[in-house]
Amino acid sequence: MHSTGYTLRFIIILTAVVALLLTGLREVTKTQAELNETIFNKKEILKAIATRLGDDVDVSAMSDEEVENNFSRIEQLAVNIKGESIDAAKIMESGYKGGKAIDIDMAKEKKKNEEDRIFPLFVYGKGKDKIYILNVRGNGLWDEIWGNVAVESDFSTIVGVSFDHKGETPGLGAEIKDNPAFPKQFTGKKIRNENSDYVSVLVKKGGADKGNVHEVDGISGATVTADGVTEMLGRCIKYYEKYYEKNIKS
């Protein structure tokens, strides 16, 4: 039998060797992995405005260069809840090295107080055709859900949305992402009423009323996730409200 000293030594050496090898491997793959993640996030944003990129554009099939090409036409801003623009230096101060809106980690921001958060805002196109892409993040049934909402220059008509989730049930809650028909419903809906007051969009259990521009159909068996989407949209789009009043409305 082995002595305690031997056991201890064995464990320490084994752990050290494995840890060293993994750290080395991590260092080698890190740059590419981070690049892949950024591309992935950029694709999610492009998905929200896919209908405006051209006919039959399949964002998920895009090559890295195409993603970068399309994304270079998007202006990246960051705002806070008071409607003030946040510059690159401030973004870096918050711990995002790149200093761009795409670098902002919404999962981290969600843990801060609402007043301290910074929100990325992406702008595509010019003048009347401007599209604003807002970032939303909330809770589904099991874990976080998030997405991008693209609105026209009136800050009301939705151009498109893309959702993602961490751990919703496949076939039920995960349909917000897996079933293209769900995000598609949002296109053309309005987040403001005739008086241009903010009302958001409701994901309605049992189906939306026909012709109601503030409702979309829910998903059978995924009421909690759908309610999560409703809550997320209602709360998170509002974060951009002050910025809209100050900079866009006039």
Partner 1 sequence: MADTAIQDVKKKESGISFGKKERKLISDPLNDNNPITVQVLGICSALAVTSLILPSLVMSIAVVFVCMFASFFTSLLRKQIPNSVRMIVQLVIIAGLVTVVEFALKYFNFTVYKQLSVYIGLIITNCIVMGRLEAFAMANNPWKSLLDGLGNGLGYGAILLIIAFIRELFGKGTLFAGTGIEWKIIGASPDYMINTLDSTWFGWYANNNLMVLPAAAMFIIGILIWIQRSYNEKLVDIS
- Binding interface with partner 1 (CB under 8 A): 1-2, 6-7, 10-11, 14-15, 18, 21-22, 25-26, 29, 32-33, 36-37, 39-40, 60-61, 166-167, 169-172
What is the smallest separation between the CB atom of 176 and partner 1, expressed in angstroms?
Answer: 14
- What backbone torsions phi and psi does residue 166 show, to the nearest 5 degrees? -95, -45
Sign (positive/negative) of CA torsion 174, 178, 183, 184? negative
Closer to partner 1 at the Cβ: 171 or 207? Answer: 171
What is the smallest separation between the CB atom of 43 and partner 1, expressed in angstroms?
Answer: 9
What is the smallest separation between the CB atom of 181 and partner 1, expressed in angstroms?
Answer: 11
Q: How many CB atoms lie within 10 A of CB 127?
A: 6
Residues 6+ apart with CB under 8 A from 141: 168, 169, 173, 222, 224, 225, 228
Closer to partner 1 at the Cβ: 179 or 193? Answer: 179
What is the smallest separation between the CB atom of 67 and partner 1, expressed in angstroms?
Answer: 12
* Cα angle for residues 106, 128, 248 (degrees, 5° grid): 50
Give strand pairing partners of 131.
124, 152
What is the smallest separation between the CB atom of 2 and partner 1, expressed in angstroms?
Answer: 4
Nearest to 42 by CA among 78, 69, 16: 69
Closer to partner 1 at the Cβ: 32 or 195? Answer: 32
CA distance 231 to 242: 19
Closer to partner 1 at the Cβ: 40 or 126? Answer: 40
Closer to partner 1 at the Cβ: 180 or 211? Answer: 180
